[in-house]
Amino acid sequence: MIRKPKYNVAVVGVGAVGEEMLRVLKQRHFPLGELRVFARSERDIKVDNDSYHVLGISPEGFEGIDFALFAGTEGEKGAAVTFAPEAVKHGAVVIDNGADFRMDKDVPLVVPEVNAKDAKKHKGIIANPNCSTIQMAVALNPIHKLSKIKRIIVSTYQAVSGAGRSAIRQLESESEKICGVQTNAPAEKVFAYNIAHNLIPQIGAFADAGYTSEEWKMVRETHKIFHTDKIKISATTVRVPVKTGHSESIYIETQKSLDIDAVKAALSKSGSIIVKDDIANSIYPLPADCEGKDEVFVGRIRKDPFVDKGLWLWVVADNLRKGAATNAIQIAEYLIS
């Protein structure tokens, strides 16, 4: 990446993540030259108090773009699969929030706090990890530096915004009906079951050994980010009736026994982690408190009373920001730093 005073950026997709990318670019004062916003069809949108003209996407639209941030749909007909190679041909560095390229051996999978240098090995495309993987990797990296992690058992409690704007509308619509509120909003049905006043212990399709695709993402992506497949990882991912903010209960076993104060100190020294761990006053991270923030919040840090090398953590982050938009823009910031 040639150092310049300003960089031309394209944001592809104007769903929940795309809108957050526009918001984060402004809030983090990214050195923007020209900003182009693409979607399937041309229209105007408003994010907060800012208006944006959305262009219909085309290969020619990436001419002169330095960074192309893809936030849209996945799969063989998704925007990244269709247009990322075209963006690269036109000289852009693609940072893709989808899952299509994450496990490609030629595509770096990057969490800047953990493996930023991998971003320099790109061949035009860099992948953002899954939202639940990102916050776990950020929280565990300082501990992994103290003593190598041997085992991870994680249960996630994932907000509906991770499934897009329609999922948010389903939660709102069902909640209004339960509360007896009359609404003219169209009924949304993203999830197979009601999500309001409910939990759904399935995110993604069921795959190998009875685990879902979301659970396997956490395994395989964590191995790639930490450059090892030696860590034994088992995950259960659950959709919960929360609008924004993923929460995770994480159990780890390390190679050597760690002092709990040393663990808290290491976490506190990380610029991307905020430790909220004052059980005497019932202070710990809550998704409602983390919405709109870029940090990863960690609390309930405690030793396993029966396993000397075991630790528990409670980890919360805004899945649309650090779990998606902010992480992507941090990768771009690293490349121009």
Residue 183 has pLDDT above 80, yes or no: no
Question: According to the model, what pLDDT value does residue 180 have?
Answer: 87
Question: According to the model, what pLDDT value does residue 181 have?
Answer: 85
Taken in order of first residue, the domains within the chain and their CATH numbers are: 7-129+324-336 (3.40.50.720), 133-159+199-319 (3.30.360.10)
Residue 325: exposed, middle, or buried by beta-carbon count in 10 A (0-12, 13-18, 19+)? buried
Cα–Cα distances in angstroms (integers) from residue 3 to residues 279, 332, 334, in the given order: 47, 12, 12
In the chain, the amino acid numbered 111 is: V
Residue 80 has pLDDT above 70, yes or no: yes
Which tokens go with 221?
Answer: 């992506």
Question: According to the model, what pLDDT value does residue 174 have?
Answer: 94
Please pick, among 29, 53, 90, 131, the residue that the annotation labels catalytic.
Answer: 131
Instruction: Give pairs for 38-45: CB < 8 Å, separation 24+.
Output: 38/10, 38/11, 38/12, 38/13, 38/79, 39/12, 39/13, 39/14, 39/72, 45/14, 45/19
Three-class DSSP category at 38: strand
Residue 187 has pLDDT above 70, yes or no: no
> CB under 8 Å to 14, separation ≥6 — which residues?
37, 39, 45, 52, 54, 71
β-sheet bridge partners, residue 56: 39
Question: According to the model, what pLDDT value does residue 127 have?
Answer: 97
Angle at 158 between CA 155 and CA 160, to 5 degrees: 160
Q: How confident is the model at residue 13 (pLDDT cuts 50, 70, 90)?
A: very high
In the chain, the amino acid numbered 216 is: W
According to DSSP, residue 273 is labeled E
According to DSSP, residue 26 is labeled H
Q: What would the mean pLDDT of 74-103 be, rounded to a whole number?
A: 91
Three-class DSSP category at 208: helix
Residue 214 has pLDDT above 90, yes or no: yes
Q: What would the mean pLDDT of 310-336 be, rounded to a whole number?
A: 98
CB atoms within 10 A of CB 167: 21
Question: According to the model, what pLDDT value does residue 185 have?
Answer: 62
pLDDT in tens, 133-155: 999 999 999 999 999 999 999 99
Residue 333 has pLDDT above 60, yes or no: yes
Beta strands in 240-295 (DSSP E): 246-254, 273-275
What is the rounded average pLDDT for all residues in the chain? Answer: 96
Residue 48 has pLDDT above 70, yes or no: yes
pLDDT in tens, 243-296: 999 999 999 999 999 999 999 999 999 999 999 999 999 999 999 999 999 999
290 is catalytic: no
Residue 77 has pLDDT above 90, yes or no: no
Q: How confident is the model at residue 2 (pLDDT cuts 50, 70, 90)?
A: confident
Residue 74 has pLDDT above 70, yes or no: no
Question: According to the model, what pLDDT value does residue 182 have?
Answer: 73
Please check whether residue 74 is in contact with residue 99, taking contact to mean a CB–CB distance below 8 angstroms. Answer: yes
How far apart are alpha carbons 222 and 244 in whole angstroms?
23
CB atoms within 10 A of CB 193: 10
Q: Which of 62, 35, 59, 31 is nearest to 47 (CA)?
A: 35
Beta strands 32-39; 7-12: pairing state: parallel
246 is catalytic: yes
Please pick, among 122, 144, 246, 290, the residue that the annotation labels catalytic.
Answer: 246
Helical spans, DSSP H, in 158-212: 165-178
Q: Chain-centre distance of CA 195, in angstroms? A: 21
Q: How confident is the model at residue 186 (pLDDT cuts 50, 70, 90)?
A: low
Cα–Cα distances in angstroms (integers) from residue 139 to residues 12, 28, 319, in the given order: 29, 22, 14
How far apart are alpha carbons 78 and 73 in whole angstroms?
5
